[in-house]
Chain A
Amino acid sequence: MDYKLTFKEFNKALKRGKLLGLKCRDCGKFTCPPKMACQECGSTNLDIAELNGSGKVVTFTVSYVPSEGREAEAPYTIVMVELDEGPWLMGNLTDIDPNKVTMDVIDRSVKLGLRSKVLPGDTYSIGGKEAEGGFARPTFVFA
């Protein structure tokens, strides 16, 4: 069975500022990031859908201890966003100084920025054609 919306397609679209997901024909709900089966009901009866990229922050962290090779990024802010369509999507929050981020960001409205940051990948992750050109990182700004 073919994968309806692969990482490669999702990634390519996200780099152009377009957030793709799946809409379930059986339960009507959205899955994003994409999977083989509906996040809500497990159905594989899915259509590709564009999501509007807006939502609210449900949780966050500011990371000061990065992975090998990503030292220059720290500190950076990670947010989990509940999208308007329902799914949760992890991303970076870029228009606030990480050192000033507090619990107050929870429930703030955010939207995808015009350009997603891209992680080039490293020794362990760059081999696959699916990630050619790097990994797009959903990049949010306050709405």
Chain B
Amino acid sequence: MRKVAIVGTGHTPFTFAAEKSSVELFSEAAMDAINESHLKSKDVQAMYVGNVLGDFSEGQAMVQSYCADDIGAFHIPSTRFEGACASSSLAIRDAFIWVASGFYDIVLAGGVETAAKMGTPLATRTFAMAHDSHYEYPIGLTFPGFFAMLAHLYCSKYSVPLEKLKEQMALVSVQSHRYGVHNAFAQFHKEIAVEDVLKGFMVCSPLQLLDCCPFSDGAAAVILTSEEKAKELTDKPVYIIGIGQSSSGKLSAQKDYAPRIRAREVSVKQAYDMAGIKPEDVDLCELHDCFSIASIISAESLGFAEFGKGGELWQKGETKIGGTIPINISGGLKSKGHPIGATGASQVFEIVHQMRGHVEPERQVEGVNIGLTDTLGGDGVLCNMVLQKGW
């Protein structure tokens, strides 16, 4: 297997309802990635595009093919990846495998979503399609409902008083907004306080408005190449040194592990083992904070805290710049935004830019050598990647 590097990146602003189409958004991110790589569109041998709900938000299926044509990468194989909120992580993971195998040398991977365009009722409906449509959606399960149930289960399983968990969850959102203020691509540029979170309207008990990430529009893309090609194209390659992916059944089928998402533990172990690292070797983590409780649950399964104690990381400031494990210094899904098909690529973008020292000075983490991404699609498509600075 060959070493694979990320050589170029692209990222549109993440926004409320976009005035551009999915094809336009993805093409902008894709061309930025191609230009940063000192390549031409015709050099791209294949494209892997995460997109979940284009069929509903724009009446546009098969967006990947139009994107390839749009940027002038005529007639290349272009494939859509659908893994709900983990879609573009799956796209990048597969791109890695194809380049590592030697089949391709240059692949463009990323994702795009225009979820905000749909408005809250339709977005809530279509997001809920990533739950079991026959056995759990009819009961009224929605995305916040899923994580709300995990939050209550977390309290009872780990004997954490709900009030204490709510305070910890609020701190997760507060930190995300604090850093998101400084991220030029973020949907929200607004600091919030714990009191703001605790007085927001109830979405699904115990999750209030500011425990939830927004619906967002945007795109992100990266160029992956073989090590040999990367050396010709950039003096700052970022290597993907570990990958993991895993899947789950509906919530009721996760009874032996919930509120843990077992698939995350399986996925991240693959990534850690392949990279030959341990959780304590990670210098920066972008994890899937679609809801405040989701961050706490994720941090535990990624190995940064004991089960039942993840919230203490935020309470003690360990997740800030300078802490033991800086988490979501981009602002995370909560403040940066969560255009679901683009989120994984956005995480990779963030880590590459942190390593290259290219983010805003107010949120630059110094000395990032190893970075970890974590995306969770629906109730259990997991994908993790370990990135390493290559210079």
Contacts and interface: CB of A to CB of B under 8 A. Distances in A.
Interface of A: 7, 11, 33, 35, 39, 58-71, 73, 76, 78, 80, 82, 87-92, 101, 103, 106-107, 119, 122, 124-125, 130-131, 135-138
Main secondary structure of the interface of B (DSSP, over half): helix
A66 B153 CA distance: 21
Main secondary structure of the interface of A (DSSP, over half): mixed
A80 B205 contact: no
Contacts of A78: 139-141, 145, 149
Contacts of B155: 103
Interface string B196-226: 0000011111110000000000000000000
A122 to B, nearest CB: 8
A103 B139 contact: no
Nearest to B144: A65
B193 interface: no
Contacts of A87: 252, 255
18 contacts: A7-B135, A60-B149, A61-B152, A61-B204, A61-B206, A66-B142, A67-B124, A69-B121, A73-B140, A78-B141, A80-B252, A88-B255, A90-B136, A90-B139, A124-B125, A125-B133, A130-B134, A135-B138
Interface residues of B, number: 41
B148 interface: yes
A24 B312 CA distance: 42
Given A70-B140, A90-B139, A61 B125 contact: no
B135 A33 contact: yes
A91 B255 CA distance: 15
Interface in B117-173: 120-122, 124-125, 128-129, 133-142, 144-145, 148-150, 152-153, 155-156, 162
B124 A80 contact: no
Given A90-B141, A131-B134, 8 more contacts: A33-B250, A59-B149, A61-B148, A78-B141, A103-B152, A103-B162, A135-B137, A137-B140
- Please name the 7 residue pairs, one residue from A and one from B, whose CB atoms are nearest each other, closest first: A135-B138, A61-B148, A68-B121, A59-B153, A67-B125, A88-B252, A68-B125
B251 A7 contact: no
A138 B138 CA distance: 9
Contacts of A66: 121, 124, 140, 142
Contacts of B206: 61
Contact of B205 (A33, A62, A119, A137): A62
Contacts of A137: 138-140
